[in-house]
A = this chain, B = another copy of it.
Amino acid sequence: MRLALIGVGLIGGSFAKALREARKLDRVVGFDIDAEALRRAAELHVIDECAPSAAKAVDQADLVLIAVPVGSVQQVFRDIASNLSKTAIVTDVSSTKASVVDHARRELGAAFARFVPGHPIAGIERSGVQNADAALFHNRTFVSTPVGQTDQDAARRVEALWMDLGAHVQRMTPEEHDAVFAAVSHLPHLLAFALVAHIAEQSDSQRKFKLAGSGFRDFTRIAASNPRMWRDICIANSAAISAELSAYRDRLTMLQTAVEAQDADALERVFTRNASGTSANTML
């Protein structure tokens, strides 16, 4: 199989390395707008060949993986649409899905049927092809979001590849995906960004950062995520994120009311439900 890798960062690089280890690849042609990253990917043998453009990279490709920031996906669709072979399957790894599917529908023409939108849940704080890891997707979830027009065989083939890499595949609609991840990923990241910004603008922020305990350090670690990636996600999933922020702000208002009233029962009720909820669901 000939893979075109558009975007040679952590996720794209790990995908290529893992597929190569699984002996699924004959050749990997890579492209990245960051020439230095592209050179490094070749040096590390993550790709076999550097293409001068996304369009050239997809020439004769059996599979195209688009692993670029969400904000750049539309341009990639535009660049590659007329160069895709009649049988090439296109897939992506973007953290938001509905807007990506809309762009694909608009830009890919007939090839839209062979576009399988996906999202591997495997982020780590590091980035870059130098941190690519063939085991990154082991025991992680790959969310597959094919739509009505998606060729079922193409979807199954992409899902089978992720399973070969050790991932569990879960299907949902692009809209479901975006609502779920607005709640469990995008909202928490925005809360962390907002907290660090809130502390940073206080007059004695240096002392505060120094005195912060482990709870706060979890927030700062989350808030150290890639700023442009999160900018793109906020724009691409604006409506779902805004809905989550509204509901969360309401809950915070209720909590503040309980704090100001020193309402022991209301406070303990919220905190107790939390502790039991998390131990049952996620602390195993």
Query: With A180-B211, A220-B283 in contact, is A193–B270 under 8 Å at CB?
Result: yes
When each residue 206-235 of chain A gets 1 if its CB lies under 8 Å from chain B and 0 otherwise, what string results?
111111111111111111111110110011
Closest to A140 in B: B213
Contact of A227 among B230, B235, B260, B268 (CB under 8 A): B268
- Select from chain B the residue with minimum beta-carbon distance to A225: B275
With A196-B274, A224-B275, A274-B193 known as contacts, the answer to whether A234 contacts B259 (CB < 8 A) is yes
| Nearest CB of chain B from residue A168's CB, rounded to whole Å | 10
Task: Kindly state the separation between the CA atoms of A160 and B268 in the bound complex, as whole angstroms.
Answer: 36
Cα–Cα, bound, A256→B182 (Å): 13
A227-B274, A238-B259, A249-B253 known; A281-B194 Cβ under 8 A:
no
Query: Given the complex of chains A and B, what is the CA–CA distance between A252 and B246 in angstroms?
Result: 9
A223–B190 CB distance below 8 A: no
Residues in B neighbouring A223, C-beta threshold 8 A: 271, 274-275, 278
Q: Which residues of the other chain, B, contact A248 by a CB distance below 8 angstroms?
A: 194-195, 198, 252
A199→B281 CA distance, assembly (Å): 12
A183-B208 CB under 8 A given contacts A193-B255, A271-B227? yes
Q: Are B199 and A183 in contact (CB under 8 A)?
A: yes
Q: State how many angstroms separate the Cβ of A217 from the closest Cβ of chain B.
A: 6
Number of copies: 2
Chain B residues, Cβ within 8 Å of A214? 123-124
Interface: A161 (CB within 8 A): no
Q: How many residues on the A side are at the interface (Cβ–Cβ under 8 A)?
A: 89
Structural contact, A220 and B278, CB atoms closer than 8 A? yes
Q: Assess the B249–A209 pair: CB atoms within 8 A.
A: no
Knowing A235-B262, A270-B193, the reply to whether A184 touches B208 (Cβ < 8 A) is yes
- In-complex Cβ contact of A246 among B183, B190, B256, B277 (8 A): B256
Is A185 close to B, CB under 8 A?
yes
| Interface of A toward B, CB cutoff 8 Å | 71, 121, 123-124, 141, 143, 170, 180-181, 183-185, 187-200, 202, 204-228, 230-231, 234-235, 238, 241-242, 244-249, 251-253, 255-256, 258-260, 262, 264, 267-268, 270-275, 277-279, 281-283
* A-B CB proximity, top 9 nearest: A227-B271, A209-B281, A218-B218, A220-B278, A184-B212, A227-B272, A231-B267, A245-B256, A223-B274
Task: List 19 interface pairs A-B (beta carbons < 8 Å), by A numbering.
Answer: A123-B214, A180-B207, A181-B211, A183-B208, A184-B212, A185-B213, A185-B215, A188-B216, A188-B219, A191-B219, A193-B270, A197-B277, A198-B248, A205-B281, A225-B275, A234-B267, A241-B259, A242-B260, A248-B252
